[in-house]
Every structure is written in structure tokens, then in C-alpha cells.
Amino acid sequence: MSTPGTPARVLVLNSGSSSVKYQLLDMAGEERLASGLVERIGERSSRLVHTPLAAGGERRERTERIADHTRALRLLSAELDKDGLGLDSPELAAVGHRVVHGGPRFTGPTLVDDGVLAQIEELVPLAPLHQPANVTGIRTAREMRPDLPQVAVFDTAFHATMPEHAYRYAIDTATADAHLVRRYGFHGTSHAYVSRRAAELLGRAPEDTNVIVLHLGNGASASAVAGGRCVDTSMGLTPLEGLVMGTRSGDIDPAVVFHLARVAGMSVDGIDELLNKRSGLSGLCGDNDMREIRRRIDEGDRAAELAFAIYAHRLRKYIGAYAAVLGRVDAVVFTAGVGENAAEVREAAVAGLEGFGLAVDAARNAVRSDEPRLVSPDGSRVAVAVVPTDEELEIARQTFALATREDGQ
């Protein structure tokens, strides 16, 4: 814990379309003091779950209608206040906001002022579901504590180092530039944290380490990281491109969209909903939870088996592609809900890639742990690792570093 009088706490806010997740961290020892979630915002019965972590306090829960994000923030601050940790606390150094889209402009964590907030709002068309909630979160927190540094940490920022030949789509340049159409990539704070942590696990300097990170949660993305810098990533203008996900298709021939519009008479919004919400594992077999899919496979379910095979095939294609992009790979690193927990996915993703120096050791791969660990056999040319992600800690670190910098730049 920090000494009184030296503000070292950071509140991390992750405002989604109908939820706000939050964590309060003390950066002196990177200790988590509280965490919580407000969900079903705007619905009839919203829920706030608050867990004080430092004081060993009891988990508290309340269910009531929470009309909007402004109300949600006020309630979560009141909940933090009960333990003397609210937004009014003098020990709070800054608020770190996860912001989904930084567009081409925001390439790192940014102190928010009126101009920055307006620019973040201008990016709403690039992420219409998430960006408005991010903007409201920042606006409300600023209203509640106008004196406090508010830092925006962008999901896209880590990928800003991609070279133009990786981020530019091969379409008419003038049209692309006029509408900011290019690959941006997402899950950037996770790819940043995990790639750095993987280098530590290998006992190497990040500047001298090449890794392929596979962030496999409900959303899923791959990145190629060379010497600590992202050189390619699988998500694009939006989080729809790339790997097979829980409910998103990932890569698909764009002509599928024209075909469905012309032949099935579907609207743009209808196809958007199909590819984002009714595709991926869920579209293929009706389940998007990997645990359920594995259970069904064990029972001999053919649709679940095929969904798993398609998911793994896409992973192998990206590993191969990014091995070619990087030239030399030191590790393939799995993270997020599926990557950290599903041993079968890790095994299937590298199956047949022995020629690339990749293999998993069955016993190591079967171990369950919250710690970063190697799952490849000793002496493997390329390490295979599991590194639990921690996006909140990464956001808090970036926020604190920027908020406490002398020049504030």
C-alpha cells in the first residue's frame, strides 16, 4: 500500500455497451484493492457486483434498474466509497479508461482533455457499439473529478507499429484513406502485456524476442510481435476479421456479403448481425463456450467436432502465416479464456507443425495454473507458452506512468 499523501491508486474503467467493469489498483505494489461489474445497464433489472479485495471484505451485490452509464459510475463510486476508496479519495492518482478505437491518431495512452475527448467521439463510426460507452465513461468520470488525470488506453494502440504493407488493405487508396479504412487491430493491451511477459518467461529481453500471441477469448485475435513491436495482427478495421471466434466468423470472402444481399435479400444490418453474432463457433454448432463444445465432442457430437476442427485449422493457418512474417519465432503464446484453459485447443493449434519446430508436451499442457508457463518439451526450437493476460494491470500501468510523468505528455 502507498503511504498516505502520495496518490498511487488507479481506477481502471472498462465501459462496454451495456456494462462497466472496474478495478482499483494500488500501483506502489501493484495490489488490487477492489473489483466489480455493473451489468445489464439500461435493462429493467441491472446488477452491480462489488468485491473489496484488500480489506478482505465481503462481496456485495445489488439488483435494481440502472438507467445509463452515468448512473452506473455514480453507483460504483458510492460502492468504493464505503471502503474509503471512491472517486473522491485523495489517494486516487488517475482514472484509466479502456477505449476500443484509437483510429489512426491515437498510438499510445493519452491524457484526456476536451480536444482529445472530441476526437475519441469522432471515431464512433468505427466502433458504433462500444465507443459511445467509452466516451460516456470518460465524460462522467471527468465531471465527478475534474481535477484528476483521466487517461485513455486504446485497444488499437499496440498495433500502431504495424508497417503500412501489413495494415493497408489492397483496395483503392483514395477511398480507403477518405473513410479511414485500414487494419487497426484490437486486444492491444493484452497483446502488449502477454508478449512482454512471455519474453520474461523465456528469460530474454523483449527487444530480442519474436513471438506469436494468440488471444483466444470470446473474441479472438493473433499478433506477430518482433522485438516488442507488433508487426501484424489478425483483426482489422473492426474486430470481425481473422480467427474463428465465439460468435464472429473471422476471415471470410467479402463477396459473401454481396451474395447474401442479392440472393437472400438480406440488409446490411442483417448481414452485420449474422457475421458478428450468429457465426463463429456459435453459428457452426450452436455453442460458443469451448467447455460445452469439448463436452459435446466427448459425446460424439459431429457439429461440435467440425466447429472445433474449423477453429483449430484457422489457428494453424495464422501461426504459419505469422511464422513467415516474423522469419524467426521464439514462442507461440496462448492467452485469454480459451487459450489459458483449453489444453485441447493448444494441442490442436500446433498439431502437424513439428516442421516449424512446434510441439506441446502432453503432461505440461494438461497442467492447470494461473501462472505463466511453458507447455513445449525441453529443447524445442520454438517454445509454446501459456501466459494469463491482465488487461486491467496493463491499463493501470500505462495510466499511472503517464499521469505521474512530470511533463504530462
To which residue does cell 448481414 refer?
Answer: 271
Contact call for residue 350 and ligand ADP (CB under 6 A): no
Q: Residue 309 in contact with residue 301, Cβ under 8 Å?
A: no
CA atoms of 305 and 284, how far apart (whole Å)? 10
Q: How far is the CB of 383 from ligand ADP (least distance, A)?
A: 22
Cβ closer to ligand ADP: 109 or 388? 388
Q: Which residues of 314-331 are buried (b: 16+ CB within 10 A; e: fewer)?
A: bbbebbeebbebbeebbb
**Contacting ligand ADP within 84-113 (CB under 6 A):** none
Between residues 75 and 338, which has the closer beta carbon with respect to ligand ADP?
A: 338
Kind plus residue range of the DSSP H or E element containing 60: strand 60-64
Per-residue string for binding with ligand ADP, 267-306, x by CB under 6 A? ---------------------xxxx---------------
226 versus 395: smaller Cβ distance to ligand ADP: 395
Site size for ligand ADP (CB under 6 A): 13
Burial (CB < 10 A; 0-12, 13-18, 19+), residue 85, is buried
DSSP 84-136: T-STT-TTEEEEEEEES--TTT--S-EE--HHHHHHHHHTGGGSTTTHHHHHH
Give the residue numbers annotated as catalytic, written as ranges.
155
Site string for ligand ADP, 304-343 (x = CB under 6 A): --------------------------------xxx--xx-
- Measured from the CB atom, the residue of 210 and 288 that comes closer to ligand ADP is 288
Least distance between ligand ADP and beta carbon 217 (Å): 3
To the nearest whole angstrom, how small is the minimum distance from the Cβ of residue 241 to ligand ADP? 16
Q: From the CB of residue 274, how many other CB atoms can be counted at a distance below 10 Å?
A: 17
Q: Which residues in the 192-251 window bind ligand ADP by CB under 6 A?
A: 217-219, 246
* Closest CB to ligand ADP: residue number: 337
Among 125, 311, 320, smallest CA distance to 217 is for: 311
Residues that bind ligand ADP (CB under 6 A): 217-219, 246, 288-291, 336-338, 341-342
